[in-house]
């Protein structure tokens, strides 16, 4: 039973980045997004991914790999905005 709870939690937290990623790609606007927060978040996800790879924990690997991809897209758009590239 708790495995289902964990699967639901992983799915919701991982997929929660999908709407923001789609919105950012479509609008190419990130003014209201904190650069510092996204940099810290992406770095934290990298560390979670490394931890998952080290322990061989497939749910952690899968969830953080997907989250890293989605959040990195947003971070790249934010960095382009900060550094004046459109």
Residues 29-68: pLDDT tens digits? 999 999 999 999 999 999 999 999 999 988 889 999 999 9
| DSSP single-letter state for residue 31 | T
Which single residue is written with the structure tokens 């952690």?
Answer: 60
* CATH code for the domain of 50: 1.20.1280.290
The total domain count for the chain is 1
Q: Tell me how many helices (H) and strands (E) the chain has.
A: 4, 0
pTM: 0.86
Confidence band (pLDDT; 50, 70, 90) for 1? Answer: confident
Interval 61-82 mean pLDDT:
94
Q: Which domain holds residue 77?
A: 2-82
Phi, psi dihedral angles at 19 (to 5 degrees): -60, -40
How many residues in the chain? 86
């Amino acid at each position: 039973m708790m495995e289902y709870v964990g699967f639901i939690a992983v799915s919701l937290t991982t997929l929660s980045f999908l709407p923001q990623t789609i919105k950012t790609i479509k609008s190419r606007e990130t003014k209201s997004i904190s650069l510092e927060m996204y940099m810290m978040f992406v770095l934290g996800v990298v560390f979670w991914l490394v931890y998952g790879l080290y322990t061989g924990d497939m749910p952690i690997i899968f969830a953080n790999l997907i989250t890293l991809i989605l959040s990195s897209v947003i971070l790249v758009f934010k960095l382009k905005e900060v550094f004046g590239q459109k």
